[in-house]
Amino acid sequence: MPGLTTESDSLDVTEGGLLGGKLRYRQFAAGHRSGFEPVLLAASVPARPGDHVLEAGTGAGAGLLCLAQRVAGITAIGVEIEPGLAALANENFKRNAMSAVAAICADIERPGFGAIFDHAMANPPWHDGSSTKSPDAKRALAHHARPALLASWIKGLTACLKPRGSLTLILPAASFGAAAAGLHAQGYGSVQLFPLWPRAGQPAKLVIIAARLGSRAPDRVLPGLVLHDASGITAAAQAILQDGAATALAR
């Protein structure tokens, strides 16, 4: 199994918080910066106390921090290919007294685990080759996907899941077809599409997709979540982003 990373390799970090300040959160000043995606992803994982959770591309740990805050008693591992980010994630877990959550430096396409997890989650890189890469190498690694990366991540995560385990992804809306195809190819059913509407009546730019390994239940499109209205962030989105509530996918 890949080794645990415990110390970050840089002091160039910014201090902040998650879930309305309930969680302390440090991230690198340069490179990939966390947005609301990991918070919404964590709010959609149907974990229960005692479950084991795996995250691919954990970054500085925002997603697992939020999930462990909402669901006490989980054990979680974050896989992160960039050593400095894996180290910083472990510092964030320690600063929030989450002793059952850890990050390892590894490649999710070669994870080194058996089928030991109840749930898996990921916010994969999604910019394709036609988009301009960031000059920051770490940001480019976090954002840009080579061809077939999504299918490869789904395959790697699936190898780590128990039968009937769940996989939850947050993706650009344009990727939902590829994600559904990849999930079906790996034996998932009950694929659920949860759109994230920027405003009511506007096309979704992001979606959350969840599925169960080995399920025979039909696929569904859920009502989704409107993120903004005339006053700013909607009350429903605020309940998730600030208060740590769950989406319909986790209930």
* Residue 8 confidence (pLDDT): 45
* Residue 34 confidence (pLDDT): 86
Task: Note down pLDDT in tens along the chain; length 251 residues.
Answer: 343 444 444 459 999 999 999 999 999 988 878 899 999 999 999 999 999 999 999 999 999 999 999 999 999 999 999 999 999 999 999 999 999 999 999 999 998 899 999 999 999 996 455 544 445 444 444 434 467 999 999 999 999 999 999 999 999 999 999 999 999 999 999 999 999 999 999 999 999 999 999 999 999 999 999 999 999 999 999 999 999 999 999 98
| pTM of this structure | 0.89
How many Å apart are CA 132 and CA 117, to the nearest integer?
36
* Residue 146 confidence (pLDDT): 65
In terms of Cα–Cα distance, which of 74, 101, 89 is closest to 24?
89
Count the Cβ atoms, other than its own, within 10 Å of residue 228. Answer: 14
How many Å apart are CA 24 and CA 19, to the nearest integer?
9
Task: Provide long-range contacts, Cβ within 8 A and 24+ apart, for 204-207.
Answer: 204/173, 205/172, 205/173, 206/37, 206/170, 206/171, 206/172, 206/173, 207/170, 207/171, 207/172, 207/173, 207/175, 207/176
For 33-147, strand residue ranges (E) read 52-56, 75-80, 101-105, 117-122
Question: CA–CA distance from 165 to each of 17, 41, 119, 247 (Å)?
Answer: 30, 16, 5, 18
* Residue 30 confidence (pLDDT): 84
> What is the DSSP secondary structure assignment for residue 81, as one 8-state letter?
S
Rg (CA), the chain: 17
> Domains of the chain, with CATH numbers?
13-250 (3.40.50.150)
